[in-house]
Amino acid sequence: MTGKLEGKVAIITGASAGIGEATAIALASVGATVVLAARRGDRIQALAERIEASGGKALPIVTDVTDETQVNNLVAKANAELGRVDILINNAGIALLGTIEAGNSSEDV
């Protein structure tokens, strides 16, 4: 795949489903090499295979973004294998049920 992001490397957290998965496919379709980060290794591996089957480039790295050591490892592996990181799509999230007004930023997830 070639396009306006040819030669760029993008890390996408939460890439195993939903918006993260769609973003990875979209960025790969315009030439970016995508680093797929999520906890579900089987899902990001399958996504990497789909992207590569379509002519794109993808590197799946199992990462839990709530663990700083794993996040540091993600960036180190991306740099080691791809030489750079140009774009970060920090999409990983959790679902805390309740109203925003009642939200507790110290809530353990």
pLDDT at residue 31, rounded to an integer:
97
49-63: average pLDDT: 98
Quote the CA–CA distance of 25 and 23 in Å, as a whole number. 5
87-95: average pLDDT: 88
Instruction: Give pTM, 2 decimals.
Output: 0.86
Quote the CA–CA distance of 84 and 61 in Å, as a whole number. 15
Three state DSSP letters for 43-75? HHHHHHHHHHHCCCEEEEEECCCCCHHHHHHHH
Quote the CA–CA distance of 70 and 1 in Å, as a whole number. 30
The string of pLDDT tens digits covering residues 12-53 is 999 999 999 999 999 999 999 999 999 999 999 999 999 999
pLDDT at residue 97, rounded to an integer:
73
Question: Inter-axis angle of helices 18-29 and 41-53, to 10 degrees?
Answer: 30
CA nearest to 31, candidates 53, 9, 60: 9
pLDDT at residue 2, rounded to an integer:
61
Quote the CA–CA distance of 57 and 46 in Å, as a whole number. 13
pLDDT at residue 107, rounded to an integer:
60
Other CB atoms within a 10 A radius of the CB of residue 25 amount to: 18
